[in-house]
C-alpha cells in the first residue's frame, strides 16, 4: 500500500510566520487592552469618591 499524497515529504513546508502577522497580532492585543481599560474605567469615573471614602461611625 502506498502512502497518500498528503503524507509524502513533497507536501511538507516550513512554518514561517510573516512579520506582518506579528504586527497584526500586536495591534489586536493593543486594541483589546485599550478597550478593556476603557470599559473598566467608565464605572470608576462615575463613582462619587467622597461618598465612597466617607466612613460612618
Residue 3 placed within a domain: no
Domain tally for the chain?
1
Residue 12 placed within a domain: no
Q: Which stretches within the chain are classed as H helix?
A: 19-46, 49-53
Residue 43 placed within a domain: yes
Considering the entire predicted model, what is its pTM? 0.58
pLDDT tens-place string over residues 40-54:
999 888 888 888 788
- Residues 6 or more apart whose CB falls under 8 angstroms from that of 39 comprise none
The confidence score (pLDDT) of residue 33 equals 98
**Better-predicted residue by pLDDT, 46 or 28:** 28
Report the distance separating Cα 23 and Cα 21, nearest Å.
5
Question: Which residues form the domain of 42?
Answer: 18-57
User: Quick one: average pLDDT of 12-27?
Assistant: 88
Residue 2 placed within a domain: no
Cell of 10: 513533497
Using CA atoms in the order 28, 29, 31, 36, what is the torsion angle rounded to 10 degrees? 140
Amino acid at each position: 500500500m502506498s502512502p497518500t499524497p498528503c503524507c509524502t515529504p513533497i507536501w511538507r513546508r516550513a512554518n514561517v510566520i510573516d512579520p506582518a502577522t506579528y504586527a497584526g497580532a500586536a495591534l489586536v492585543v493593543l486594541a483589546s487592552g485599550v478597550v478593556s481599560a476603557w470599559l473598566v474605567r467608565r464605572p470608576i469615573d462615575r463613582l462619587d469618591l467622597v461618598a465612597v471614602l466617607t466612613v460612618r461611625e
